[in-house]
């Protein structure tokens, strides 16, 4: 029976970048740059440095086992950022990342609009008591449109009230 080779652990210089966060899983990409999943965030390589994406800010996380690619879409207020990363030895990273993202989701609500719909998601950052909200619009829905924005604001107000949030 062949022995399974254990994935190498990131060096101290990489672990120092994640600070006080506790590393849970790690992998390297095709360029031999590290990805680190911690208790609070996913750290992804970008131009020779690591970028932190808090689990509560991950809108979409997909692992394609056949292509060995991890797709991460970060929900930002102005526009989402997307990473498609080919992992050389994924180890437990895709599984741990999926668990961490799912653990932040408190409430999801699909809201029909006049033309299309949006999805509201309330997430609780690891270790926090407050909620963060993201709004994902269907293709073709312009959330910058005044009427759409008013409908989204009202839907957020109702959803927050339903969860006992003020403001």
The number of distinct structural domains making up the chain is 2
pLDDT at 53 over 60: yes
Domain end (from 103, 121, 151): 103
Any domain includes 36: yes
CA-atom Rg of the chain in angstroms: 18
pLDDT at 6 over 60: no
What is the number of alpha carbons within 13 Å of residue 4 lying toward its C-beta?
4
**Pair of tokens at residue 112:** 């029909």
For residues 43 and 123, membership in a common domain is answered with: no
For residues 151 and 115, membership in a common domain is answered with: yes
Distance (Å, whole) CA 126 – CA 83: 22
**Pair of tokens at residue 64:** 């394609």
Identify the pLDDT of residue 18: 82
Across 140-147, average pLDDT: 90
For residues 76 and 141, membership in a common domain is answered with: no
For residues 89 and 121, membership in a common domain is answered with: no
For residues 49 and 96, membership in a common domain is answered with: yes
Any domain includes 4: no
| SS3 letters across the chain | CCCCCCCCCCCHHHHHHCCCCCEEEEEEECCCCEEEEECCEEEEEECCEEEEEEHHHEEEEEEECCCCEEEEEECCCCCCEEEEEEECCCCCHHHHHHHHHHHHEEEEEEEECCCCEEEEEEECCCCCCCCEEEEEECCCCCCCCHHHHHHHHHHHHHHHHHCCCCC
Identify the pLDDT of residue 40: 95
pLDDT at 161 over 60: yes
For residues 24 and 83, membership in a common domain is answered with: yes
pLDDT tens, residue by residue, 12-39? 777 777 889 999 999 999 888 889 999 9
Across 65-83, average pLDDT: 86
For residues 19 and 99, membership in a common domain is answered with: yes
Q: Which domain holds residue 154?
A: 104-162
Identify the pLDDT of residue 72: 95
**Band of pLDDT at residue 152, cut at 50, 70 and 90:** very high
Any domain includes 6: no
Any domain includes 86: yes
Are 53 and 42 spatial neighbours (Cβ–Cβ below 8 Å)? yes
Any domain includes 94: yes
**Where is pLDDT greater, at 11 or 51?**
51
pLDDT tens, residue by residue, 76-134? 656 778 999 999 889 999 999 999 999 999 999 999 998 899 999 999 999 899 998 98
**Band of pLDDT at residue 41, cut at 50, 70 and 90:** very high
Any domain includes 21: yes
Any domain includes 167: no
Are 106 and 91 spatial neighbours (Cβ–Cβ below 8 Å)? no
């Amino acid at each position: 029976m062949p022995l399974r080779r254990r994935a190498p652990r990131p060096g101290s210089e990489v672990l120092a970048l994640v600070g006080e966060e506790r590393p849970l899983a790690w992998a390297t990409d095709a360029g031999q740059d590290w990805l680190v999943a911690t208790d609070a965030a996913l750290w992804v390589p970008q131009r020779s440095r690591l970028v932190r994406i808090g689990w509560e800010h991950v809108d979409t996380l997909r692992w394609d086992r056949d292509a060995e690619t991890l797709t991460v879409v970060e929900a930002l207020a102005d526009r989402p950022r997307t990473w498609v990363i080919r992992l050389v030895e994924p180890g437990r990273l895709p599984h741990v990342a999926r668990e961490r993202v799912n653990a932040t989701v408190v409430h999801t609500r699909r809201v029909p609009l006049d033309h299309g719909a949006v999805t509201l998601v309330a997430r609780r950052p690891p270790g926090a008591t407050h909620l963060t909200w993201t709004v994902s619009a269907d293709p073709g829905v312009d959330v910058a449109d005044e009427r759409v924005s008013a409908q989204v604001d009202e839907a957020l107000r109702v959803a927050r009230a339903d969860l006992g949030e003020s403001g």
